[in-house]
Structure 1
Amino acid sequence: MSRGKAAAHRAPYGHQKLRDREPRAGVRYKCALLNTIADVLQQRPGWVEAKEDGEWDFYWCDVTWLRENFDHIYMDEHVRICHYRNHYELTRKNYMVKNLKRFRKHLERESGRPEAAKCDFFPKTFDLPSEYHLFVEEFRRSPGITWIMKPVARSQGRGIFLFRKLKDIMDWKKDAARSDETKDEIPVENYVAQRYIENPYLIGGRKFDLRVYVLVTSYVPLRAWLYRDGFARFSNTRFTLSSIDDQYIHLTNVAVQKTAPDYDPEKGCKWMIQQLRQFLTARHGPEAVTALFQNMDNIFIKSLQSVQKVIINDKHCFELYGYDILLDEDLKPWLLEVNASPSLTASSQEDYELKYRLLEDTLHVVDMEGRLSGKEKRVGGFDLMWNDGPVSRPDGQHDTLGSGFFVANTHLGCVNDRQKQLRQLLKSGPAKKP
């Protein structure tokens, strides 16, 4: 087994601890990150950091370690790591779109157009440079609209720009052609060209997107959990299409917004998703908001199903995804991207507490201590929404909106009374595995 010692680090914000009962001792962990997850692991009762030359049971690794080491180590039955080997099938922007397009065609063949239409939640997208000519055809069919270019493997808004004229990307195109002709040069970076959502839902005149967390503990069968907490990330500047070069208007990434000259670190640029749900309910009514969140449930499940047959399932692996969702003015949710390494660095005390709870509950679901029976529909702030099929809500609620989507066992943006739920769940002691 790969060995090494993760550096210790204390985050600038306080933490919350659950100490309902002492778990089984002796879980040895490693951690490659120096943020909130390091605090959660250090504070978890009975868990100890693996010594530099010691073996580990649990590793919160980064994707670089995964790429370099996964094929070269032996892992015992109980060992867990936080990524699937080819997680990029969903989390690289071009692969995600490729898999969604393929899955949509499959649904249309097998179940017809109405079922395939449930995958119409991502903007028209082209993989460049390979689909450049297809993109140009589409571009010329709809002159004057705004497009956005995104590097396929970068994060935090780096390398993104908007454009309306082909000449605005000709320099990039020339670099691509030059790279193809010169074999010994570094290939040009792949991008996706995506139709920009020109009518985003605005609050206070500002654009925002949602960060939502989905935990997958198995792809065969597919087993996915949705976290009740999340947040909306707002731009720092009022929205307008008259200026497409201002990143503070169009990019909601916190890494971008916190560099704005008038950014207020005390105020920040986030709403908790409970606050957003209450706001939308007051403005549009509960039925419209219920339909919106059902449509978001559909995005999570269909996107995971689109990669279910290509992800290399491994019993040692789990994945905590960060979904980025944009709402338009008609309350339609659009999938922007899925992150395999969502930021775990806190931007405020409230943000730290959210991420601490999220990571603590992730460890509860992964269950290194063997305290769960495997039949739970809820663990802390996580609700089981798919277990080789849709998971019904405990109250047996049915779809009253006629949307045709299943009503998942999800409570995104609802009260997260996780401490109470965990006390009830864990009070009886370790569960006996069947």
Structure 2
Amino acid sequence: MAVKTVATKTFQGRIERRRGITDRPVRFRCFLQNAIYDVLKNRGWIESRDDEEWDFYWCDVGSMKDLFDRGYFEEHMRINHFRNHYELTRKDLMVKNLKRFRKQVEREQGRLEALKCDFFPTTYVLPSEYHLFVEEFKRNPDTTWIMKPAARAQGKGIFLFRKLQDITAWRRGEYMTAYDKEQNREAVETYVVQRYVDNPYLIGGKKFDIRIYMLVTSYNPLRVWLYREGFARLSGTRYTVESIEDTYVHITNNAIQKTAPNYDPDKGYKWSMGRVRQYLIAKHGHEIVDIMFKQMDDIFIKSLQSVQKIMINDKHCFELYGYDILLDANLKPWLIETNASPSLTASNQEDNELKIRLLDDMLNVVDMEGRLTGKEKRIGGFDLIYNDGPVYFDEAGVETFNLNTLRLNSFLGCANDRNVQLRHLYRQNQLIKRMEKAAAAAAAATSNNTN
């Protein structure tokens, strides 16, 4: 097997080694039969059987631990999860890490900087923080709260409440009797309870949240890519805070909405990120919307920094996260949750095309074929926003430290001319590699003549 190694410098001057498979198709395994499988096959990669070697593995979080425990990864191999990804993607652990990070920022940088970490609602983990929650509940008796299972997805088990008695049946299992323990009855499922954001921004009178995709290729150093495209998921029912028992009003997850009697996937329940951006600019102007997007960038970076020191970094791993963001009526973004396995099943043709582009660009960044130099700030629809520090952009399209032009290299909801950009990028990289090869040959010839 020919695996070429290219030595490159990153923006901060570090040397890293990139390997690419050059003499055969990449071999992959994939546990899904949806968009990711189609993308892998369309790249000309070959599916490996269980008894065959692989280069790239798209595995589920359940089998990942066994894979790490049993396997030895060769240098070029890649897998789509970090070992303890759940530190950010389990709701209770995410909140624990965010709270700890906020305290750390306040201790090291002051209270004003710590206020930038107030992007998640007041949250308690139950049953461990039940008594703290009760104290908060009594201080704010008219507040609406939302309960979420810590380790479930797709909107399962979520409900809203305003009275403590509404969770009595759930709480009853917290204190098990000796008899219960002898019978090996299961402990109470861990939940998070959050102050419900009851003043959401509405489009056409309907609540929505925004799904945004982040790609992390390293935690040490932290290297973060933001995808330009995403989408808003709209409720099919007009918003009202009065009917808290109506899940179709309050939970925008597509897994919930598609069970509604009047659901129609082609009826406009999803807006592209570009459409959302244009709508908000038309209503509020560029300046206000730019501030909102900068706050969202802060959420992405700070949430990842909150787990950076505890995440088990591995050069074989990467993670595609699905961030869920809610805007309130003041255009303040709130982090709702982070998903390690964002849905790759399309709800309609437009959704399928977005996910095909997303996954193809993800593989372009992972770069199994070794076509990159390591200096790229944009690859298809992905923009590098953090590389052991913020990555900035100026009008010339190069990294800058001019304080008058500093702007994060973030383009969420902007045009994604990925095909043109990729063609230009790969042509440029081929030219650079030919020039480097020629320079190396010239240097070797000069050295031989000298000797």
Match of 1:224 in 2: 224
Distance 1:254 1:195 in 2: 22
1:99-149 per-residue CA deviation (whole Å, 9 max, x = no partner) reads 000000001111101111110000000000000000000000001110000
Match of 1:327 in 2: 327
Give yes or no for the alignment of 1:337 onto 2:313. no
Q: Do the aligned partners of residues 415 and 23 (structure 1) sit closer, same or farther apart at CA in structure 2, a change above 3 Å counting?
A: farther
Aligned 8 A contact 1:345 1:352 in 2: yes
1:318-373 per-residue CA deviation (whole Å, 9 max, x = no partner) reads 00000000000000000000000000000010000000000000000000000000
Tell me how many residue pairs correspond in the alignment.
408
Counterpart pick for 1:49 among 40, 47, 66: 47
Match of 2:86 in 1: 88
Distance 1:397 1:267 in 2: 46
Q: Do the aligned partners of residues 363 and 239 (structure 1) sit closer, same or farther apart at CA in structure 2, a change above 3 Å counting?
A: same
Match of 1:129 in 2: 127
SS at the partner of 1:123?
A: coil
Distance 1:51 1:64 in 2: 19
Identity %: 63
Q: Do the aligned partners of residues 397 and 419 (structure 1) sit closer, same or farther apart at CA in structure 2, a change above 3 Å counting?
A: farther
Match of 1:412 in 2: 412
Aligned-residue offset at 1:68 = 2.6
Q: Please, which moves more after superposition, 169-178 or 377-386?
A: 169-178
Aligned 8 A contact 1:179 1:186 in 2: no
Aligned-residue offset at 1:158 = 0.3
Q: TM-score, normalised by structure 2?
A: 0.87
1:136-186 per-residue CA deviation (whole Å, 9 max, x = no partner) reads 000000011100000001111000000000000010000222378733111
Match of 2:159 in 1: 161
Aligned 8 A contact 1:233 1:253 in 2: yes
Aligned-residue offset at 1:51 = 2.8
Match of 1:170 in 2: 168
Match of 2:26 in 1: 27
Distance 2:178 2:97 in 1: 26
Matches within 5 A, 1:245-394: 245-394=245-394
SS at the partner of 1:217?
A: strand
Counterpart pick for 1:116 among 106, 114, 117: 114
Q: Do the aligned partners of residues 137 and 358 (structure 1) sit closer, same or farther apart at CA in structure 2, a change above 3 Å counting?
A: same
Match of 2:211 in 1: 211
Distance 2:142 2:319 in 1: 40
Give yes or no for the alignment of 1:235 onto 2:231. no
- Counterpart code for 2:117: C
SS at the partner of 1:175?
A: coil
Which aligned runs of 4 or more in structure 1 are off by greater than 4 angstroms? Answer: 396-401, 428-434
1:351-409 per-residue CA deviation (whole Å, 9 max, x = no partner) reads 000000000000000000000000100000000000000000142598889xxxx7320
1:12-40 per-residue CA deviation (whole Å, 9 max, x = no partner) reads xxxxxxxxxx9753210000111100100
- Counterpart code for 1:31: C
- Counterpart code for 1:326: L
Structure 2, gaps ≥5 residues long: 1-20, 438-451
Aligned 8 A contact 2:373 2:429 in 1: no
Aligned-residue offset at 1:265 = 2.2
SS at the partner of 2:226?
A: strand
- Counterpart code for 2:129: E
Aligned 8 A contact 2:224 2:387 in 1: yes
User: Which structure's CA Rg is the greater one?
Assistant: 2
Distance 2:232 2:226 in 1: 16
Q: Do the aligned partners of residues 181 and 321 (structure 1) sit closer, same or farther apart at CA in structure 2, a change above 3 Å counting?
A: farther
Q: TM-score, normalised by structure 1?
A: 0.91
Q: Do the aligned partners of residues 188 and 97 (structure 1) sit closer, same or farther apart at CA in structure 2, a change above 3 Å counting?
A: same
Aligned-residue offset at 1:67 = 2.4
Aligned 8 A contact 1:179 1:188 in 2: no
Distance 1:275 1:180 in 2: 57
Aligned 8 A contact 1:27 1:368 in 2: yes
Aligned 8 A contact 1:294 1:407 in 2: no
Distance 1:399 1:162 in 2: 46
Match of 1:12 in 2: none
* Superposed CA RMSD: 1.9
Aligned-residue offset at 1:69 = 2.5
Match of 1:9 in 2: none
